Structure formats: C-alpha cells, structure tokens
Chains A and B, each alone.
Chain A
Amino acid sequence: MRPLIARRDTPPLTARRGPVAPPPAPPPVAEPVHRDPAPSIWSYRVQRLWLTPLFRRVLRVGVPSFALVFGTGLYFSDEGHRTAILDGLQEIRREIEARPEFRVNVLGIDGASDRLTAEIRGALALDLPVSSFDLDLEALRQRVEALPAVARADLRIQSGGYLAVRVTERVPALIWQTREGIVLIDREGHFVDALGDRQLEAPLPMVAGEGADRVVDEALALHAAAAPLGDRLRGFVRMGERRWDVVLTDDRRILLPERGAVQALDRALALQDATDILGRDVLRLDLRNPDRLTVQLTPAAIEELRRLRALERDTLTGGTSG
C-alpha cells in the first residue's frame, strides 16, 4: 500500500547553522572502455609456440613417451612391485597351463616290445597327468633315443591328452663277442642289448674281435657267402681291425684277405666243393695272399706227412742204391 502522504526523501530546504558538509561525492563510475576483442600477448605467444613444429612434436610425442617410460621405470624400480607383477603373470600362466585342455593323461608307446615299453616308461619318468606346456618333447625324445634298443622315437601330443610315442626298435643283426661279454649289435653296429637279456627269434651270426661292430656289413656279407659251410661255421673274427677270419668247428680257420674277402671265401668254398679240403687234416686255410693258397696242417698230419716223405725218400734211395 502506498502511503497517502508523500514521503520526503530530500532534506527540507531550511537553512542550517554551522558549516554545511558538502554532499558526498558520487563514486566515480568506471567508464567501461569498449575495446575490440584481441588476444592477450600471452595467449598469442602460446598459440605461436603451439604452432611451432618442433615444440608440437615434443609435446605430443616426446613428453607422453617420456612420462610413460619414466613412470614405468619408477614403478618397476621397486622390488616388491616387480615380484608382484611376475607372480601375477606366473599365476595366470599356471592357470592356463593347468586347464584340462592342455593336460596329458595317457602315455601310449607304439612299436616297442613289452620289455622296451617298460624301459621307455622308466626313461621318460612322467608323472601323469602333466600339462603339455611342461613337456619338452625334444628332450623326451632324446631321452628315449638314448636307450640302446631304440633306433628312432617320435613323440607327439594328440588330442584327448594322449602322448603318443612311436618307437622304431633296433633289430639285432649280429652277436658280438667282446672281452666284456657277449652283446647284440644291429646292422649299423649299434649296441642293442646284452645277449643274456634277450631271447633271439633266429640264430644270428657271431663275430668277435675288436672293431667288428664298425664293419657289420662285411660280416653279414661273409655270413651270407658262408652259408654252404652249414653247421661247421662258428663265426667270424676280426683280426687287427683289418681282415676277417672264418672260424669253423674244431678251431679251424679260414684266413681271408683284407680286400675281396667274400670272393676269397667263395674260392675257398669252391675248393671245398672240389677237393673237400676242410674234410682233411687242415688247421688253417690261408687265403691272405691271393696268388698262393697256404694250408697249415694239424700236427698229426705233419707227422704223417713227414713220415710218408721219409718213407718215400728211403724207398727212392733204396731203389737207386739197391
């Protein structure tokens, strides 16, 4: 409601005694200086700096990469952080490795006899089930191939957690008599087994002498060539790592030359066919010199020969004298 009587704001126009205070000066009204917008000197400079290519590159690439590297370095300089992160990574790795998809449950061995299978199992010494990440197939293969009876092994992890070991066994080709014992060797001269540990399916040729395992091929060829000797053949002896002797029953020998041993043996066999030379009192049949066949007789035969020769001489002298 407006009052009906007008209020008087201004002081009455009555004269006053005393010094009249001047009315308070109105506060100076700041005249708004209208200026056109312009960038301040600093914004101008900053913008120019930002448009500088080198500065831009440093700020965009250099500083973040430095911060990243520095921060990472700072974080990893603490031993605790490092081990924590490594442990975490190991844990994750272990979890993944332990998943059933990667587990090997069954070890299957193919192409080995029962005894060898057991041996391979022992050599592998796997504690199944095991994660396929923990299996070093190459090392396992070398372990299997280190077994004397194994020629080649092939390991692979198949689906369903199956570790398949495919083994090629060494086939014994010869019986080798050494000072240490009697062993079986295969075609390449590798040790297969001790003779006592194994039942042989078929009789094998027997060899002796040092270095016989390096020339298994020759021994086998000689054995094939000496087939007509039949039961009389006992074996072959490597002499001086150089040439072969064929050892027959009754400790008789055929001494073969260094080269052309098989042909020499064939010649000896032909001689046997023609003259039955081995049926006589011959201790050694020496074919080492291809030009000349030499025969060592048994002592008894030599005695007999001498006796006969002496008799013959007597008869001749008696005949001429008498």
Chain B
Amino acid sequence: MNILYQSQRAMRAKRQDALRRGVIAVLDIGTHKISCLVLKFDQTDAAAPAEGIGAMAGQANFRVVGAATTRSRGVRFGEIDSCQETERAIRTAVQAAQKMAQVRVDHVIVALAGARPRSYGLDGEVTLTTGTVTDHDVGRVLAACDLPDLGQGREVLHAQPVNFSLDHRTGLSDPRGHVGNRLMVDMHLLSIEAHAIETLLHCVKRCDLELAGLASAPYVAGTSSLVEDEQELGAACIDMGGGTTSLSIFIKKHMIFADTVRMGGDHVTADISQGLQIPMGHAERIKCRFGGVMATGMDDREIIELTGETGDWHHDRRTATRAELIGVMRPRVEEILEEVRARLDAAGFEHLPSQRIVLTGGASQIPGLDGLASRILGNQVRLGRPLRVQGLPQSTCGPAFSACVGLALFAAYPQDEWWDFETPADRLPQRSLKRAVKWFRDNW
C-alpha cells in the first residue's frame, strides 16, 4: 500500500516537474503502432475552474508540437514482448517527434492497452469527526477502502474516487464543505499485471526517458473519444486496436469499468493471410484497401488481385473477390464484438441509464463496422474520433490515435486518484513528525 503510494507519487512529482518545464511526451505503445506526441504546456492555469477535487485537476492548456508514429515491433496483445525491439521502436517514435518539436523531452507518459486489466469497485465509509467534510476527511475515507486481493504479481494502475455519498445523499463529486455525519466513497480500482509495468519501465529507462505517468489505454481512449454528455450519462468506449480490443465504461465522467479482449485488427489480418494465403504485409494492405464486414452483390464483381513473389506463376496470379475477403474478415470481427458484448454484460452495462457505445481505434475504420456492431452491441453505436486538440497534425486525427490524444488530455487534465490525497496520520505514524513540521511551516 505504501509502496504503491510512493511509486505513484514519485510519478506525480515527475509529472509536475515536467509541467513546470513545459514539455512532456506522451507515448501510446500499441500492438500495431507506437505513436508519440510532444506536448508543450503554455502555463499552469490555476484560475481555470477544475472539475473534481484535488490538486491535480485541471492543470494546464497545452499544444502538440511534435507527433510521430512508427510501426510497432515487439509488442503483442498490448504488452511488451521483446524489450529491445520495443525499445528501438520507442526510440524511433520519440526521436522523430523530438525532431519535429525541436525540443528535448525527458518525461514521458505511457498508455498500456494490454496486461489483463481487472476492475474492482471499492467502497469506504468513515464517520466525520467535525460536521463538515474537509480534505482530511476525504483522505481518510479513501484510506478506509479495503484493498481487495489483487492476486499474485498485480499492480494498481488507477484508483479513482468515483462517487462520494454523505449520509443519504449520493452522487457528490466534491463533498468538501458539505455537512453530514458519515462519508462514503465508491472507488474504481484498476489493476494490471506487474511484469508489464516492469518491462515498460525498463524500456523507457533504456531510452533515457523518465516515466512520468502511466495510464490505461481504454481509459484514455474513452476520455478523448466520448463527448461530454456521453461521459456524464454513461457510455462504453471500445478501442479496437491492433492486438487488443479494450473497453471502458464511463458514467458521471468517471471510468467505472475497463477490460480488454485479447483480439484485434492484427488477428483479422492474420485471418486474411491464412485464408487467402498471402503474406501478412500484403494482407494488411488488402484489409485496409478493400476490407469490409457487410457484403453486397456488388462485392462479388470486385476482383482483388493477390499478387505474390513466390515464383509460382499460378500462385502469384490468383484473384479473390471482395466478397471472399469480407467472408474472411467478418467472422473474426463478429467474434471480437461478441466477446466485447460478453464483457459488457459481465460488467452490467445494460443497467446503465444510457447505453451508448462508441467504437474507436484503428480497427474501427473497417467499412460497415457500425452496422455490424449495432447488431451485436445494441442500437446506440457510433464511430468515435478523438477530440481535436491544438496543434495536432492532420495525420494523427483519425480514430487510431484516440488513445494517444486521450493520453495528452490525461497529461493536461489528470483525474484525481487515491494517492493525490494525504493519507491520515494514523495510517502513517512514521510521518507524523514530518506532518507536524509541515503544519508548523504552513501556519507560522
């Protein structure tokens, strides 16, 4: 518990340092591509009204000064598989972004898609000593949450207070100043496998960068591709990436659930490669150029040439119709979506008041996907693109970059987390002297 606090707080300190310097990089390590954005923060805008509570809320306005994307190597299912290859890919992306920005970045915030995220809902309850809720009470109620048994080798990635209730009132986003007797909190905790974080840290360190933050890709994709009322009323964001399809559920502007389906666009490509017996690169190209999920009569007449370099004349001059291609792609896409449906059902998505589903990510660009998804996931499906942020190049405005843009938003407007609040002194007796000194310094 304390170790978690310390490592997360160290990252927060680094992020504050980077914001003070004004330059920070965000890095989305995906299975298919690694993209890097260099953000320049103009000034810390303390006057802006912050949503939520705590010190980290609503910090700065930023501009994207550098952007680079490279093909990902050594990443499988959103987890780093081969350190050296990933390191090379990170170097490529960071160097290109730095070159575009003409500035050196030292701090990087990384999003992770895979590593089997698991959501927990925690609640804590505390009786207020004074009648009014103070910062101290908020820290106390957060500390009162029982940490569930995460399992062997798992780490907490996000722990966000989602809802505060005071006596019989619930749905408070900021309980400070309210009068009551018992303060309760609902907290969403996301844990991932620890080895993924360790490997990532290793790779980032090998690139001479410092990790200033870590975020879950479904969370950041949701923040960037869901519009404000979708986040408020309840929606699911499905980020269809290369190796994983991650989903996150938002309500009241807080993520309440995140999960990952370990299938994505690369599996569709692999299916095409197997089904049509063509190399992967070629299959990827055909998928992007002719792919689809809804076959029409027109597609039977559209011939795709499956050229090859094997030397076998007949093999190299095969053709396939687009209908055949769709026939290969559709089952896999359906499988992915059904798996997503299962996860959403498991999370109890149907009980939410609004059940909008937003598809984003690179694999969501398959033509006709929204029609197929609405059959499987429900009526309220739309395709989402990331928010427009200042200075973002046109090439990185597509849905494939929603996690990246969301990470930039995450850097600028961080959500308050568990560790942003002071833990009560009784939990940390060894710090009481330090706290006394701090109190003395603050008040005298």
Contact = CB atoms under 8 A, between A and B. Distances in A.
Nearest to A53: B104
B73 A41 contact: no
Contacts of B88: 35-36, 38
Contact of A51 (B70, B71, B98): B98
Nearest to B94: A44
Given A36-B70, A36-B71, A36-B73, A44 B91 contact: yes
A317 interface: no
Interface in A21-44: 35-39, 41, 43-44
B91 A41 contact: yes
Contacts of A43: 95
A45 interface: yes
B6 interface: no
Contact of A38 (B92, B104, B208): B92
Given A36-B70, A36-B71, A44-B207, A51 B91 contact: no
A39 B95 contact: yes
Nearest to A43: B95
B91 A38 contact: yes
A47 B70 contact: no
A298 to B, nearest CB: 114
A10 interface: no
Given A37-B92, A38-B91, A38-B92, A48 B70 contact: no
Given A38-B88, A38-B89, A51 B103 contact: yes
Interface string B116-128: 0000000000000
Interface residues of A, number: 14
B102 A39 contact: no
Contacts of A53: 104
A30 B341 CA distance: 48
B136 interface: no
Contact of A45 (B70, B73, B85, B208): B208
Nearest to B71: A36
Nearest to A41: B91
Contacts of B104: 48, 51-53
Contacts, number: 39
Interface in B61-83: 70-71, 73
B111 to A, nearest CB: 21
Nearest to B207: A44
Q: Please classify how large the interface on chain B is, using the bins under 10, 10 to 19, 20 to 34, 35 or more.
A: 10 to 19
A48 B73 contact: no
B301 interface: no
Contacts of B207: 44
A173 to B, nearest CB: 85
A183 B394 CA distance: 104
Nearest to A45: B208
B92 A36 contact: yes
Interface in B217-274: none
Contacts of B202: none
Contact of B89 (A36, A41, A48): A36
Contacts of B95: 39, 43-44, 47-48
Interface in A45-63: 45, 47-48, 51-53
Contact of A48 (B71, B85, B92, B98): B98
B318 interface: no
A39 B103 contact: no
B315 interface: no
A37 B88 CA distance: 9
A43 B71 CA distance: 19
A38 to B, nearest CB: 4
Interface in A113-153: none
10 contacts: A36-B88, A38-B88, A38-B89, A43-B95, A44-B95, A45-B208, A47-B95, A47-B99, A48-B95, A48-B98
Interface of B: 70-71, 73, 85, 88-89, 91-92, 94-95, 98-99, 102-104, 207-208
A-B pairs with lowest CB-CB distance, top 10: A38-B88, A51-B104, A38-B92, A44-B91, A39-B95, A52-B104, A48-B104, A39-B91, A44-B95, A36-B73
Given A39-B95, A45-B208, 17 more contacts: A35-B85, A36-B70, A36-B71, A36-B89, A36-B92, A37-B92, A38-B89, A38-B91, A39-B91, A43-B95, A44-B91, A44-B94, A44-B95, A44-B207, A47-B95, A51-B102, A51-B104
